[in-house]
A and B are shown apart, each in its own frame.
Chain A
Amino acid sequence: MSALRVDGVTVRFGALVALDAVSFTVEPGTVHAVIGPNGAGKSTCLNVLSGVYRPHAGSVYLGDRELTRLRPHHIARLGIARTFQNIELSGTQTVEDNLLLGRHHLMRAGLVATALGLPSVSREERRHRARVREITDFLGLSAAIDRPAALLPYGLRKRLEVARALALEPRVLLLDEPVAGMDTAETAEMAAAILAVRAELDVTVLLVEHDMGLVTRIADRVTVLDFGRRIFDGSPEAMTSDPDVVAAYLGGAPPSDSPRAVSPSALLGGAPEGEK
């Protein structure tokens, strides 16, 4: 197992500095949370890790391997899978096909073999369908396996995103607000699922979240971002008493016209707000 290391990453959008020389390390086998108010750069951070954005400075390493210049599909093949805050499933395809898509890089069938319907292709399909079954059983999606993803209720679609990421057989799982918009019961189920993933599948989890309750319950380590800067990195217990974190969230006059709009209730596990 190798650590995921973020080293001095800076991302700018025009004049806006979304990430400002941010560094942290996700130790293998942990659940690591990245939190922060709206506009703190959390989603940008995930986009850099998964190769969707290219940072202006800094590097990302998985073990010794530098990921910074790789295109997203290479990063995925190296074992980093992710989910999206705003659910990016293939809505017309069934749950099963969405999960098989996650196994795209594990499958070998070429265009010619597929077109001709060679026996090796159907054997491969069967093998991967069996594994997909296991994943849907694991996450409680088996009843919906033949349904188009768009027709699933919201909570199941969120869970399908996690399942699809797991279908890649990743070493590191990046979760972008996995419980956003969920009620208490759904949140609890998702938390249990995340812990099970870590424990049973031996996957490192990096979690971007608004929901402080969830973070303090399941995270081993927390990195707090504020306006693109890292203001804290340590254990969840230490975080709650850290003066910078408290100031960023609760008090302290935020700089003028800040987009920060986190209400105390959001902090305590209420409805989180969307972030662009």
Chain B
Amino acid sequence: MSNLVELLISGLSLGSIYALIAMGFVVVFKATEVVNFAHGSILMLGAYVIAATYSRIGFPAAVVAGLAAAATAGLLIDRLLVRRLRRRTHTALAIVTIGVDIVLAAELARRVGTDVLNMGDPWGDDTWRVAGFTFPVARLAAIAVALVLIAAFGALVRYTDWGVAMRAAAEDAETASLMGIRLSRVSLVAWMTAGVLAAVAGLFLATFPSPGLSATANTTALRAFPAVVVGGMDSLGGAVVGGLVIGLAEALTAGYSDHLLFLGHGLGDVAPYAVMIAVLLWRPTGLFGTKELSRV
């Protein structure tokens, strides 16, 4: 029983991290129609900068540097590539981000090498015991930070001028532009915000109980893609729900893997993808995605 509660907390924590990744992905898609396959590498860039700088400038400053690096990566992709490619097909835009991902992932994997980098976070492997349960502090911190960020981001989308503009652009970019909405600003803020959210997620993905930042962190981040698809590619609420579903599925299958050995070792790693296929067979545009109405 205590096992189940601990697994649920661990799943929620993982899920809220995935939700951060998924929200960034969705906001970029809504604002610019780009399916950003470089998202995992941007996440890893943020985490890497934190890991590489904390010993010199201290953890808080390192986090700021990591967030700034990821936001800058988003900014550069937006300014140098996405902007020039407006009016191209989804596939063309997605392929550009694959190109960026190839380069960024190669460089980061080279720098990390075969090491596992410590993130220098203050929680370390501390645990918190309450009523017979044991929770890693890093996991609780992840939930707390993610909740704050999800709420802040929700408010940003709902109440600020940028949020209104972003939603209008997502509905119909052409009309929004005619109404005086500056699409380039919408796009820029979306990419930078997505970078910040990804970097925070990257930090928590590499803290306890994970051993640290490894060369394959960007692949781990890809597990948030099922969260995006499960929730529906153009739904921010869906991203949060999808993240939690995927996180719980992963934590529970990993936690009960001893009972699921007939399905093989390392089941937690593939659970997100299995859930995604199941959901897609049922609803081809995810749980909350809008059905694309063809306009002809």
Residues of chain A touching chain B, judged by Cβ–Cβ distance below 8 Å, are 13, 43, 47, 52, 84-86, 88, 176, 276
Contact = CB atoms under 8 A, between A and B. Distances in A.
B259 interface: no
Contacts of A86: 296
Contacts of A276: 295
B294 interface: yes
A170 B293 CA distance: 26
B62 to A, nearest CB: 49
Contact of A85 (B293, B294, B296): B296
B179 to A, nearest CB: 16
B13 to A, nearest CB: 38
Contacts of B295: 276
A256 B294 CA distance: 28
A154 B294 CA distance: 22
Among B293, B294, B296, residue most surrounded by chain A Cβ atoms (within 10 Å)? B296
Interface in B112-135: none
Interface in B272-296: 293-296
A154 to B, nearest CB: 17
A88 B296 CA distance: 8
A123 to B, nearest CB: 35
A91 to B, nearest CB: 11
Contacts of A84: 296
11 contacts: A13-B293, A43-B296, A47-B296, A52-B294, A52-B296, A84-B296, A85-B296, A86-B296, A88-B296, A176-B296, A276-B295
A47 B294 CA distance: 10
A47 B295 CA distance: 9
Interface of B: 293-296
* 8 closest A-B pairs by CB: A84-B296, A276-B295, A88-B296, A52-B294, A52-B296, A86-B296, A47-B296, A85-B296
Contacts of A88: 296
A47 B293 CA distance: 12
Nearest to B296: A84
Contacts of B296: 43, 47, 52, 84-86, 88, 176
B282 to A, nearest CB: 20
Contacts of B293: 13
Contacts of B294: 52
Nearest to B175: A276
Contacts of A176: 296
Nearest to A82: B296
A261 to B, nearest CB: 14
B293 to A, nearest CB: 8
A215 B83 CA distance: 44
A188 to B, nearest CB: 26
Contacts of A85: 296
Given A43-B296, A176-B296, 9 more contacts: A13-B293, A47-B296, A52-B294, A52-B296, A84-B296, A85-B296, A86-B296, A88-B296, A276-B295
Nearest to A85: B296
A43 B294 CA distance: 12
B161 to A, nearest CB: 25
A88 B294 CA distance: 12
Nearest to B295: A276
A174 B293 CA distance: 21
A86 B295 CA distance: 9
Contacts of A47: 296
Nearest to A88: B296
A43 B293 CA distance: 14
A50 to B, nearest CB: 9
A9 to B, nearest CB: 17
Nearest to B293: A13
A272 B51 CA distance: 61
Contacts of A43: 296
A45 B25 CA distance: 37
Nearest to A43: B296
A165 to B, nearest CB: 14
Nearest to A176: B296
Nearest to A84: B296
A154 B248 CA distance: 54
B227 to A, nearest CB: 28
A61 B293 CA distance: 24
B218 to A, nearest CB: 34
B291 to A, nearest CB: 11
